[in-house]
Structure 1
């Protein structure tokens, strides 16, 4: 069946706008918060309810699709064959719980392993970043984005996750030292938005498929590189230490990795 990607893009935008309102309504009531693997890895009733809603809407829009969801309400996948939707119902759950801000909803749609459409919704700012290869561009709501400037590491801010900096994983402290400074937002979706907008030249973190699936589609469409920390393509069904960067910043970071640089 030939997919009408433009129509699907519009349909998913409508679903996410409904999901946003549902999340805002639920935020008015006390949250039920549980730990997943540790006290800093949280899940709430809203994460679970939102994923159930999104999965049900995806089944309606695309009954033959396979779905990988963070909270487990989709399918068990061993490949990206066919059309695969990868869903993060609330990205940045700690921010959601503690700040009621700086969190996102994310969906990536892949066809036989190739990213076609990505969606990152900054819920509190009400800005939906969407687009990809299938629709030849990336938009923030209705405004089309242009590719960010291809700045080297020294001329831009670097996004990171705090544990990687604290424990100096993959020479992260040297990378930050070589940049203009570090920014930590606590949400892969918000970090990726900053890369899309050229506010940072890169981002490094351990990411699972739902953390990077949508972002990789949008970033690649704007000529921003997405790879493992040593420059290899991502395995979209496993966790990776992911490097997002402009071409020049990627070159600089890979050189630091190759030279085994330390402060």
Structure 2
């Protein structure tokens, strides 16, 4: 039976509160930390524990689910046909390990490629950004309006620190043109800041679990999401992404079209 958004929202919101309690408990214990692609790309026993919890709970709730998770504990997915969940157990693991702050957990749900719901929880602040295209977006219990349509020069922007540091084309131009820039180290935290109007744009190279929930929520708020080398509705490929107000997005595209 097709689930309503309220049913989905109640289910995922409860999962995330359980995940939050698990994570807070593990912050007081030694972590098992391993590197993935490099010394800044970390995975912990908590990442794997949380993803396994999501996978088991989603399979009970939605027995026909296909689940794509960052740590590979779900399914190998090459299509958005059917019931598809995309999970990032801990987004900003380096922040989680080193700062114990500014990290998120994220879930997005699709039916035959159409977004049905998305959830991003700032774990330490206990702020849940959640919603769906036809139902709007909430921060906890407060319904959000579209952020002010600021231009780039009026906006603080969130950028990938690694790409800014290594002068990936376009990033320094955007940082220089913006009112200011921030590096949060977590896509989920950046999406929450964007939805709240605290930044006017977020620019990074992201994998599906990094952007799925954020893209759904941004679009539901009337924000623009641009993928430079993929179709916007391609949820299964990594891409350089700009999520921004329409004016800031136009300014960024004008800059990056000449510098990328």
Q: Aligned to 1:170, what secondary structure does the other structure show?
A: coil
Q: Where does residue 20 of structure 1 map in the other structure?
A: 20
Structure 1 contact 229–254 (Cα < 8 Å) conserved: no
Q: Where does residue 126 of structure 1 map in the other structure?
A: 126
Cα 1:222–1:231 shift into 2, 3 Å: farther
Structure 1 contact 234–240 (Cα < 8 Å) conserved: no
Structure 2 contact 230–239 (Cα < 8 Å) conserved: no
Q: Where does residue 78 of structure 1 map in the other structure?
A: 78
Q: Aligned to 2:88, what secondary structure does the other structure show?
A: strand
- Count of aligned pairs: 260
Q: Aligned to 2:3, what secondary structure does the other structure show?
A: coil
Q: Find the aligned partners of 2:259 and 2:89 in 1 and give their Cα distance.
A: 37
Q: Where does residue 236 of structure 1 map in the other structure?
A: 235
Q: Where does residue 46 of structure 1 map in the other structure?
A: 46
* TM value normalised by structure 2: 0.96
* TM value normalised by structure 1: 0.95
Deviates further, 166-175 or 70-79: 166-175
Any stretches of 5+ residues in structure 1 without a counterpart?
none
Q: Find the aligned partners of 1:174 and 1:23 in 2 and give their Cα distance.
A: 38
> Cα offset for 1:176?
1.0
Q: Aligned to 1:169, what secondary structure does the other structure show?
A: coil
Q: Where does residue 173 of structure 2 map in the other structure?
A: 174
Equivalences for residues 25-36 of structure 1 within 5 A:
25-36=25-36
Q: Find the aligned partners of 1:5 and 1:191 in 2 and give their Cα distance.
A: 24
> Cα offset for 1:232?
4.8
Structure 1 contact 130–139 (Cα < 8 Å) conserved: yes
> Cα offset for 1:168?
2.1
Q: Find the aligned partners of 1:73 and 1:38 in 2 and give their Cα distance.
A: 21
Q: Find the aligned partners of 1:232 and 1:176 in 2 and give their Cα distance.
A: 25
Q: Aligned to 1:168, what secondary structure does the other structure show?
A: coil
> Cα offset for 1:27?
1.4
Equivalences for residues 203-242 of structure 1 within 5 A:
203-229=202-228, 232-242=231-241
Structure 2 contact 229–239 (Cα < 8 Å) conserved: no
> Cα offset for 1:7?
1.1
Q: Find the aligned partners of 1:8 and 1:30 in 2 and give their Cα distance.
A: 34
Any stretches of 5+ residues in structure 2 without a counterpart?
none
Q: Which runs of 4+ in 1 moved over 6 A?
A: none
> Cα offset for 1:228?
1.1
Q: Where does residue 161 of structure 1 map in the other structure?
A: 160
